[in-house]
Amino acid sequence: MVRIKVVIAVIGAVFLLFPLLALAQTWDSRPWDEPVSCPRCKSDRVVYILYGEPKLDEDLKRALESHKVELGGCIVTQESKRWECRNCKHRWGTVAPKVGNPP
């Protein structure tokens, strides 16, 4: 009897959590909508550099068309930057986490 209750509880939890996990993918923040200015020239003509293979939804399409976002490619290195100033071409911000000292 206890095993049946545990199985029912697990199945119920899965059915309750699955829709929440699906919604979590739509809750991601849109960092290109945050106001940012260039640390070098103080211009607000700044573009967010997005790496990887993003899902091309309507928000991202609008951001690409309005030049708020630029696609940076699939490969992220320690030298990859997060932001670029359209005024002075300065790039800054870390993308890849620092992972200790290389040998």
pTM score: 0.65
Percent of the chain whose predicted confidence (pLDDT) is above 90: 47
DSSP 27-39: G---GGGS----T
Helix (H, G, I), strand (E, B), or coil: what is residue 42? coil
* Confidence at residue 27, expressed as pLDDT on a 0 to 100 scale: 43
* Confidence at residue 99, expressed as pLDDT on a 0 to 100 scale: 63
Residues in the chain: 103
Domain boundaries, the chain: 29-94
Q: Give residues with Cβ within 8 angstroms of 43, minimum separation 6.
A: 37, 85, 86, 87, 88
Greater confidence (46 vs 22) lies with: 46
User: Residue 59 corresponds to which tokens in the numbers above?
Assistant: 């928000």
pLDDT in tens, 27-72: 456 788 888 999 999 999 999 999 998 889 999 999 999 999 999 9
- Residue 80 pLDDT more than 90? yes
